[in-house]
């Protein structure tokens, strides 16, 4: 029987928009005096039946530890009492708290009754496992027997406007416009195989916006009907709703096709914010499920179809990341962020 080869040149791209990110070069270390602060956290202490202002801690886009001495405000207390502290975030764009301690002790109670234990665990140490604090008022309680009244707050506040410069993979494409002549990875896709435990690509992403620098992982697999793309984006440790999204672009004989995934758009897959075995903090993961008929054939492709070559280019930005794949002889794969 005569073999028939389906030749389709495809480009697959995934665009992730994560407003809090700007994957440009890392910003040089600056002294506090030279920082361009975006917003602040007002600190109050509950004393003698009322909340008393203790001061303000200013923050820029990077996660920083700031200190405040509360010894002049925290009054005499019984052993049964707790030291209550209130944080009120104001100004800037997105804001997040990584950790807070008083005299080296983590908080033991929070006013955020929903998932209290989970939130307290996030606030117990500096590990990029953060909570959203934009415009929020957070009340915390600490043990009464603390002697050292030094409050330490690790947090950040973004600017209202963030960079839109994309971050591209391979890294040689950084700051360049994506074209069919860009550098691509090579991927050989064979009909139905389980998802490999080893990532299809693994690239280190240097953050320039205060988000953690870390590896971005991608996996590709398929069965007889669908192409599966999974991106574990460890650098995106903030949950920003529909401001984050991913797009997959596929160039076929009929032109470029776009597949978008976000919180409200789940036709082609779904985003999630979760823990994985790659890092210890919650972060963004994108999963795509794209029917092969959407990118190469109106009919179901044969189970033994082999895609001989596939190339992709990944772009990520401060609020966006774009993954593109250029593929020859059929099909697709890949994703990233904003």
Q: What is the pLDDT of residues 148-176, one digit of tens each?
A: 999 999 999 998 887 666 566 667 767 77
Range among 18-22, 127-131, 203-207, 255-259 rated most confident? 127-131
User: For residue 236, what pLDDT is reported?
Assistant: 87
- Residue 177's contacts (CB-CB under 8 Å, 6 or more residues apart) are none
Is pLDDT above 80 for 246?
no
Task: Report which of residues 76 and 95 the model is more confident about.
Answer: 95
Is pLDDT above 70 for 7?
no
Contact yes or no for 333/289 (Cβ under 8 A):
no
What mean pLDDT is predicted for residues 60-71?
94
Whole-structure pTM value: 0.79
Place of tokens 């192409």: 227
Rounded CA-CA distance 172/189 in Å is 24
Reported as a pLDDT band with limits 50, 70 and 90, residue 54 is very high
Is pLDDT above 70 for 26?
no
Rounded CA-CA distance 12/218 in Å is 13
Range among 46-50, 110-114, 195-199, 285-289 rated most confident? 285-289
Q: What is the pLDDT of residues 66-85, one digit of tens each?
A: 999 998 887 655 455 789 99
Contact yes or no for 289/195 (Cβ under 8 A):
no
Q: Name the nearest CA neighbour of 26 among 237, 172, 206.
A: 206
For the chain, give the mean pLDDT: 75
């Amino acid at each position: 029987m005569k073999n028939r080869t389906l030749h389709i040149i495809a480009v697959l791209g995934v665009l992730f928009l994560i407003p809090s990110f700007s994957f440009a070069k890392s910003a040089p270390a600056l002294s506090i005096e030279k920082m361009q602060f975006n917003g602040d956290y007002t600190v109050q202490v509950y004393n003698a039946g009322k909340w008393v202002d203790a001061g303000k801690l200013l923050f820029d886009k990077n996660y920083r530890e700031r200190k405040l001495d509360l010894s002049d405000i925290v009054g005499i207390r019984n052993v049964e009492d707790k030291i209550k502290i209130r944080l009120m975030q104001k100004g800037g764009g997105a804001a997040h708290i990584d950790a807070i301690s008083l005299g080296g002790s983590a908080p033991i109670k929070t006013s955020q009754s929903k998932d209290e234990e989970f939130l307290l665990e996030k606030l117990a140490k500096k590990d990029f496992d953060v909570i959203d604090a934009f415009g929020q008022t957070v009340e915390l309680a600490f043990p009464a027997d603390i002697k050292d009244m030094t409050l330490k707050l690790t947090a950040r506040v973004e600017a209202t406007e963030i960079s839109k410069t994309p971050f591209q993979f391979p890294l040689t494409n950084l700051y360049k416009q994506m074209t069919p002549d860009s550098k691509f990875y090579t991927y050989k896709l064979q009909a139905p195989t389980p998802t490999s435990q080893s990532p299809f690509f693994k690239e280190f992403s240097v953050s320039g916006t205060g988000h953690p620098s870390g590896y971005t992982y991608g996996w590709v697999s398929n069965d007889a009907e669908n192409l599966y793309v999974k991106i574990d984006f460890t650098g995106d440790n903030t949950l920003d709703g529909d401001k984050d999204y991913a797009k997959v672009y596929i160039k076929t004989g009929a032109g470029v096709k776009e597949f978008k995934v976000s919180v409200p758009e789940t036709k082609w897959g779904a985003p999630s914010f979760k823990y994985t075995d790659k890092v210890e903090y919650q972060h963004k993961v994108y999963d795509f499920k794209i029917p092969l008929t959407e990118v190469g054939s109106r009919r179901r492709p044969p189970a033994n179809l082999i895609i001989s070559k596939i190339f992709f280019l990944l772009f990520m930005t401060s609020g966006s990341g774009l993954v593109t794949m250029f593929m020859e002889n059929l099909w697709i794969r890949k994703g990233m962020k904003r």
